[in-house]
A and B are shown apart, each in its own frame.
Chain A
Amino acid sequence: MMDELSLNILDIAQNSIAANATLVEIRITENDPADTLSIGIKDNGKGMSPEFLKTVEDPFITTRTTRKIGLGISFFKEAAEMTGGNLSIISALGVGTTITATFQKSHIDRQPIGDLTGTIIALVTLNPDIDFIVTYTVNSNEFLFSTVEVKEMLGGDVALSNPEVATFLTEYINENIENLHN
C-alpha cells in the first residue's frame, strides 16, 4: 500500500508514461458539500484492449516481463474502496486510458492527498518531454498547472528537468495548493 494518495497518482501516471503518452491530465476534485474526493488520471497513450482491461485490476496481471505481479492499480482501487468509493477505468486501443478513483472525503480510512507537489515535480523532472496538466479543485477554488504554459515561458532553451526550474516550480505549486484551502 501507498501511504498517501499522491504516491498512487505518481504510480498510476508511470503506467501512462510506459504506454507512450505525450499528454497526461491529472484532475483532483474535492467537494465538501457532497463529501467526495475524486482523482482522475487521463492519458493519450496506447490504451488497453477490452480483453486486457477486464483483467487489469487483478494484481497477478501485468505487462511487465520480468515478473508476473503488478500492484499499482490494485493499490489505488483498494485505497478508494476502503472509503466506500470505487475505481473505474475507461480505455481504448490507440486512444488512451482514463482511471478515476472516487473517495468519501471524510471517511476515516481515506488516505491524505499528501505531497502532491512532490508528485508533480517528480513527473515533470523525469519526463520533460511529456506534457502534464494538473487541475486541482477544492469546492469553488481551482488551480491549474500546465507544463505547456511553463514551456512557453522557458522558450525551448531550458528543460523542465533543470534543477533551478524544478526548485522554482516546487515553491510555485506549493503556494498555489496552499491557497486553494484558504
Chain B
Amino acid sequence: MKSLAELAAIRDKMKQNATIREDGESTIRIVVGMATCGIAAGARPVLNAITAELAAQNVTNATVAQTGCIGRCTLEPIVDVIVPGEDIVTYVHVTPDKISKIISSHVKEGIPVVEYTVGAYEN
C-alpha cells in the first residue's frame, strides 16, 4: 500500500526543480471545459490524461485550468492551449488518446496539432 508519507520525496524532488520554472512569461495554459456538457461528453478522462502526460513528458511550464460552458456543447470536450504571445488554439472532440500528441507537439515544441483543432473540424 502507498502511504501519503511518500509525498515528502516528491516535495523534495520538486523543490530542486523549482528554480527552472515559475518564471511566469513562458507559462502555457491548458484550459478544459468542465461544465455539465463537457463532463457528460468526457472532459474528466481528458483532464486526467493531460495531468498524467505532463508528468510523463516532464513538462513543468504548463498549468491546467477549467472553464465553463461556452455554448458549443456539441464540440465538447474542448481544450484550449494558450501559449503566451500566440493565438489561442482550440481543440474539439478531444479524447484521452489525442493528449500525448498535443502535449509533445504543441506544448513542448510549439507546433499545434492542426487536425484536432476546431478549424479542421469545421472545414
Contacts and interface: CB of A to CB of B under 8 A. Distances in A.
Contacts of A93: none
Given A121-B51, A161-B64, A175-B1, A75 B36 contact: yes
A61 interface: no
Nearest to A172: B2
B20 interface: no
Contact of B48 (A70, A118, A179): A118
A170 to B, nearest CB: 7
A11 B76 CA distance: 15
Contacts, number: 105
Contacts of A155: 11
A157 B51 contact: no
Interface residues of B, number: 36
Contacts of A10: 34, 39, 44
Contacts of B8: 153
Given A119-B44, A121-B51, A157-B14, A165 B7 contact: yes
A140 interface: no
Nearest to A2: B40
Contacts of A154: 7, 10-11
Contacts of B70: 66
Contacts of B65: 126
Given A66-B69, A179-B1, A1 B48 contact: no
A14 interface: yes
Nearest to A155: B11
A125 B50 CA distance: 11
Nearest to A74: B36
B66 interface: yes
B35 to A, nearest CB: 7
B55 A167 contact: yes
Interface in A42-78: 64, 66-67, 70-72, 75
B47 A125 contact: yes
B110 interface: no
B115 interface: no
A75 to B, nearest CB: 7
Nearest to B71: A66
The 5 closest A-B pairs by CB, nearest first: A163-B55, A153-B7, A163-B54, A172-B2, A158-B14
